[in-house]
Structure 1
Amino acid sequence: MRVDDIRADGGPAAPRPVSGGPAPPSAAPAPPRPSTAWIDFARVCAMGAVVLVHAVAPLVTASHTDLGTAPWWAANTLDAAARWCVPVFVMISGALLLAPKPEAPREFYRKRWARIGLPLVAWTAAYLLWEVWRNGMDAETAWRQAASGAPSVHLYFLYVIAGLYLLTPFLRTVVAHTPRSGLWWFAGTATALGVADQALSLVDGAGGATAATRFLPFLGYYLLGWLLHTAAPGARTARPAAAVLLVGTAATAGAAWALADSAGAWEAGSAYVYDYLSPTVLPSSVGAFLVLRAAGLRLARAQGRAAGAVRRAVGRISALSFGVYLVHVMVLYELRGLLGAPDGWQAVGAALGYAAAAALLSLAAVAVVRRIPGARALLI
């Protein structure tokens, strides 16, 4: 017996194939992991879209523009065109976290609680105290908003992500042992249930989300993120996706106007069309995800000093993006309260200016806070 016929533990090695005989079957090579080089770009774009949505929303509800006028249509189009922002954030999380990996649930929860737990508690308290100071909100209302998982107009997202994290170790097992066709059925069923849940909420007295259940309608988006991320990229995917995004945006803007016009005012039906699980926003979100993935991968492959500089800038902004998500509402609302909100076309210009200023000021504030020892954990 030769040296190479002995295992490292001293036992005999597996029999060597006889020359000329059939080779032993070998395990199929693992498929290459899809590139995540596009995610920084997508995250930055989604963050900008979130700020834009919050800046133009008061105009769409006809607070500063008259329903159906040209300024209202401008705000409506801008808002409809950015409604994919939160679904894309959820899909990015699914793309990053649902890949099967040898990580014990306890270890996963320990890591994720360190990232989401403290910010969830701290920013819930901060925004409720801010609302008490700003609007005189009483303690009962503050508790009700916290229990509903929506202590502020945007913080429900923390409760959505926290709930999805709880299911992730189980979902990884499902992803690892379910054929891809089965995963598409799972994602489709979960998405359909989310759409139905949002539609049924229009019925007076039906349902209502809480801090414990707010994530459930977004489960389909979470699964879609992984499925779309691992699908083959390319122009053949990006071009139809861009068409879907444009059609979905037009349908969202048009349906919101039609319902508001028939009711004579912005009301629950119009607001439903803007919901992240409405029949028009859902395809827009999928289209936006695929377009951003294609654009981000193209940026990652681009050559030259300029492309490299853009990638570095995108990477730095991406690292600050979730902190910007957390703080921008305070910055935006304080800017609007300090400088006022005009009407008509001036309102549209002011909203765009406030969005840009809030994004820049939030970026600067987060960059400074992250350098303070112990404060970085508050910004994820």
Structure 2
Amino acid sequence: MHTPVVDVAPVTPPVPADRPAGRNHGLDALRVAAICGVVAIHVFGEIVGNREMRGNTQWWIATAIDLGVVWCVPVFIMISGALILSPRAHAAGPAEFYRKRFARILPAMIFWHVVYLVLVRMMMHGERPGPGRLAVNFLDARVYTALYFLWLIAGLYLIAPVLAAFLRDGGERRAKIIAGVAVLWSVGAYMTPGVAAMLGEGRPITLGAWNIWFPYVGFFLAGWALRKVVPSPRGIALAALVAVVVQAEVVWQYGVRPDYPWLQAVFPVTASGLATTIGSGCLFVVALGLGARWTVSERGGRRLKQLSDASFGVFLIHMLVFEVVMRFVPAVAQGTSLAWSAGAYVVVLVTAFALSIVAGKIPYLRAVV
């Protein structure tokens, strides 16, 4: 199970009266944690997907890491919604919004689809997909692993002006109600295939390049609806505890799902599953609360911002770095060694951050990271 990242930026929620307004470093930190989670899912996912390793200690540790950070997808969408649905982002009208947003994402979509299709699939893997297969891959948003998320965020950009206008005219109450309804709708929709299968009637959800964004509209709206939440220290602790408990349940459920098929059917272990939805919302609120209370030095704030801003590039680059690592370390590619995978994780993460930061300073390259 692979979960990529979107091009998002932190938004600053209101802070207590005794604190000056400024960038919310809690969301910066959450964004960095989320991209670290994305890399972990792809690296340790090789062990999780190895049936011969299933059930042993190494497999359980890898599963705890992999499934324990599945919240990273909803969290990135929520951070994105908190910024993109702001009236200020749409003040110049839809045309200007589209120009700015798609000028950012389209070059990255084109460049990285070519890179992963030609360099990875064709040159490194030796694939020779025909025109028909390529067309299907593009329609299904499956040219390469996590690149489907670029189509997802493009879809959310497309509907953002409509959502922003609807929210602007309804106040905070409307935002919370519509976000809650949309999130519950997606949770319910993802329960349907499993329940139908248990009843002997298959009803799969089919998503492709043009509708893959739909299940995430609720998280997009929730980011805006929750942006002003600043919980008390006790509230932060409670939200953090709930997040840990529900993610532990996700790990346990994935590990025992062959024995409890009904549990997976009713409460699927997906980014839009009930447990992950709850955990993601709690982590988002924790980040808002901590960010409103943290005092970060100017130097520390600049470094955290740099890492946060580099996360989109890390998402795009890390899969290429991981492909190179797997070619030289068979134990990582085969998912047979937790130690080698842990080492690979550090190498991939550090290398991807370094390349993203450097590329962000180079003309033309910074347009695609």
- Equivalents in 2 of 1:345, 1:366: separation in Å? 26
- Equivalents in 2 of 1:248, 1:74: separation in Å? 17
- How is 1:1-380 mapped onto 2 (pairs within 5 angstroms)? 36-38=23-25, 39-63=27-51, 65=53, 67-101=54-88, 102-129=91-118, 130-135=120-125, 136-139=127-130, 140-202=132-194, 203=197, 204=202, 206-261=204-259, 269=264, 273-299=268-294, 301-302=295-296, 307-341=297-331, 347-379=337-369
- Equivalents in 2 of 1:310, 1:161: separation in Å? 30
Classify the secondary structure of the residue corresponding to 1:155. Answer: helix
C-alpha change, 1:32 and 1:82, in structure 2 (3 Å) is closer
Q: Is the 8 A contact 2:155 2:210 kept in 1?
A: yes
Q: Spell out, residue by residue over 1:104-140, the C-alpha distance to the aligned partner (whole angstroms, 9 max, x if none).
A: 1111011001111111122122222222233315133
- Equivalents in 1 of 2:217, 2:305: separation in Å? 27
Letter in 1 for 2:111: A
Moved more, 205-214 or 157-166: 205-214
CA RMSD of aligned residues (A): 2.6
Larger radius of gyration: 1
- Equivalents in 1 of 2:215, 2:335: separation in Å? 36
Letter in 2 for 1:193: W
Q: TM-score, normalised by structure 2?
A: 0.84
Q: Spell out, residue by residue over 1:72-93, the C-alpha distance to the aligned partner (whole angstroms, 9 max, x if none).
A: 1111111122111111111110
Q: Tell me by how many angstroms 1:95 deviates.
A: 0.8
Q: Tell me by how many angstroms 1:32 deviates.
A: 6.0
- Equivalents in 2 of 1:199, 1:159: separation in Å? 24
Q: Is the 8 A contact 2:34 2:76 kept in 1?
A: yes
C-alpha change, 1:235 and 1:364, in structure 2 (3 Å) is same
- Equivalents in 1 of 2:248, 2:211: separation in Å? 31
- Equivalents in 2 of 1:370, 1:70: separation in Å? 40
Gaps in structure 1 of 5+ consecutive residues: 1-30
Sequence identity of aligned pairs in percent? 28
Gaps in structure 2 of 5+ consecutive residues: 1-12, 16-20
Q: Is the 8 A contact 2:44 2:62 kept in 1?
A: yes
- Equivalents in 1 of 2:293, 2:142: separation in Å? 37
- Equivalents in 1 of 2:335, 2:168: separation in Å? 53
Q: Tell me by how many angstroms 1:323 deviates.
A: 0.5
C-alpha change, 1:226 and 1:48, in structure 2 (3 Å) is same
- Equivalents in 2 of 1:208, 1:344: separation in Å? 29
Count of residue correspondences = 338
Q: Spell out, residue by residue over 1:257-300, the C-alpha distance to the aligned partner (whole angstroms, 9 max, x if none).
A: 1213457xxxx959x8431001221111112212233333444x
Letter in 1 for 2:287: L
- Equivalents in 2 of 1:344, 1:239: separation in Å? 39
Q: Tell me by how many angstroms 1:63 deviates.
A: 4.5
Letter in 2 for 1:109: Y
Q: TM-score, normalised by structure 1?
A: 0.81
Q: Tell me by how many angstroms 1:346 deviates.
A: 7.0
Q: Which residue of the partner structure matches residue 13 of structure 1? A: none
